[in-house]
Amino acid sequence: MSLNGTYDDNNIFAKILRGEAAAVKVFENEDVLAFMDLFPQARGHLLVVPKKVRARNFLDLPAAHVEPLMAHVHKLAIAVEKALKPDGLTVVQFNGAPAGQTVFHLHFHIIPRYEGVALAGHGHANRADIPELQKIAAEIAAAL
26 part of a folded domain: yes
Q: How many domains does the chain have?
A: 1
* Residue 130: pLDDT band with limits 50, 70, 90: very high
CATH number of the domain to which 62 belongs: 3.30.428.10
Q: What is the pLDDT of residues 5-42, one digit of tens each?
A: 999 999 999 999 999 999 999 999 999 999 999 999 99
| Cα first-last separation, the chain | 35
Alpha helices, DSSP H, located in 1-144: 12-17, 63-84, 130-142
Contact 38, 128 (CB under 8 A): yes
118 part of a folded domain: yes
Helices (H) and strands (E) in the chain, counts: 3, 5
pTM of the model: 0.95
57 part of a folded domain: yes
Identified catalytic residue from 107, 109, 122, 124: 107
Q: What is the pLDDT of residues 94-109, one digit of tens each?
A: 999 999 999 999 999 9
31 part of a folded domain: yes
Q: What is the pLDDT of residues 71-81, one digit of tens each?
A: 999 999 999 99
Provide the β-strand partners of residue 46. 36, 110
64 part of a folded domain: yes
Look at residue 125 and tell me whether its pLDDT is greater than 80: no
Q: What is the pLDDT of residues 41-90, one digit of tens each?
A: 999 999 999 999 999 999 999 999 999 999 999 999 999 999 999 999 99
7 part of a folded domain: no
40 part of a folded domain: yes
Contact 23, 130 (CB under 8 A): no
**Would you state the pLDDT for residue 120?**
84
Across 51-140, where does the E strand assignment appear? 88-92, 108-113
Domain containing 112: what range? 12-142
81 part of a folded domain: yes
- Asked if 107 is an active-site residue, the reply is yes
For residue 46, the Cα-to-chain-centroid distance in whole angstroms is: 5
For residue 125, count other CB atoms closer than 10 A to its CB.
16
Phi and psi at 35, nearest 5°, equal -145, 160
Residue 2 or 99, more confident:
99
Question: Within the chain, what is the greatest distance between any pair of CA atoms?
Answer: 41
For residue 40, count other CB atoms closer than 10 A to its CB.
23
Phi and psi at 31, nearest 5°, equal -100, -40
